[in-house]
Structure 1
Amino acid sequence: MKRCTESFTIWRDGAPVAFVAGQLVDDKHPILKTHKHLFEEPTATVVQAAQLKPVEQATAEPGTPRSLTPPTQTADSGGGGPKPFDPGEHTAPEVIEYLKGADEDERVRVLAAEENGQARKTVLSADLTKA
C-alpha cells in the first residue's frame, strides 16, 4: 500500500481522475508509474485507521440525524493536512473541471489565484456551468 501525500487530479481517457491526500492505493496501481513522488509508505497507524474508520450512516428519511465522522485535519488547521487547490500546479482543463464542481467561495479563491499567477485566458474566461 502507498499513501497519497497531496490531492491532485489527472486526465485519463478524457476524464478527470482525482486522488485525495491520505488515500491508499495498492502497490501495483498504475498511478505509481507516473506520480510516485506524490505517494509514500503509510505508517502502520494510517493503515489501521483506514481499515477501522467507521462508515457514515446514511438515512432515507429527511430530518433524521446522521452519525458523521468529522475530518481530523483541514488545510487551515496547520496540521499538515491537504493543501488548498493551487491552479498553478494544474493544466487549464484540470482547473476548469475543478472549478465546475467547486462552490462559489472556492471559485472566487481559485480564480483570484489564477489571475495573480499564470492568468490563463482559457481559465479566466471559461464557462463554469456544470455540464
Structure 2
Amino acid sequence: MKRCNESFTIWRDGAPVAFTAGQLVDDKHPILKTHKHLFGELEASSGHAQPSTLRPVEQATADPGQPRSLTPPASTGGEDKAPADYDPGEYNAPEVVEYLKTATEEERDRVLAAEAAGRKRKSILGDTKES
C-alpha cells in the first residue's frame, strides 16, 4: 500500500479523478505509473493500524454500491467551446475512440484532423469514418 502525500486531481477519459492527502492505494494501482512521486510508503507508528489492517479510502458514490458519475464544472463564459486542448497524440487509440463517442461533431472533426495530421492510426481514423 502507498499513501498519497498531497491532494491532486487528474482528468481521465473526460472526467476528473481526485486523490486526497492520506488516501491509500494498492501497490499495483495505475496512478503509480505516472504520479508515483506524489505517494510514499506507509509508516508504522504506535496508535495507528498496521499496514495489513489499513483499507483504501472509500470513494463517494451516488447510492451505496453504485459508482458516482462526475460532471465537469460548468463553463463560465463562451458556451459551446470545444476543448481545443485535447490532443489525440497524447492518448492511446481506445481512449481516443471513447472520447470521440461523446464529442460534438465539430470537436470530432477537429480531433480526427489532428490525428490525420499526426499519428494516422487506422484504429481511430478507420473506426470513426464507418459510423
The TM-score with structure 1 as length reference comes to 0.48
Looking at CA atoms only, which structure, 1 or 2, has the larger radius of gyration?
2
The TM-score with structure 2 as length reference comes to 0.48
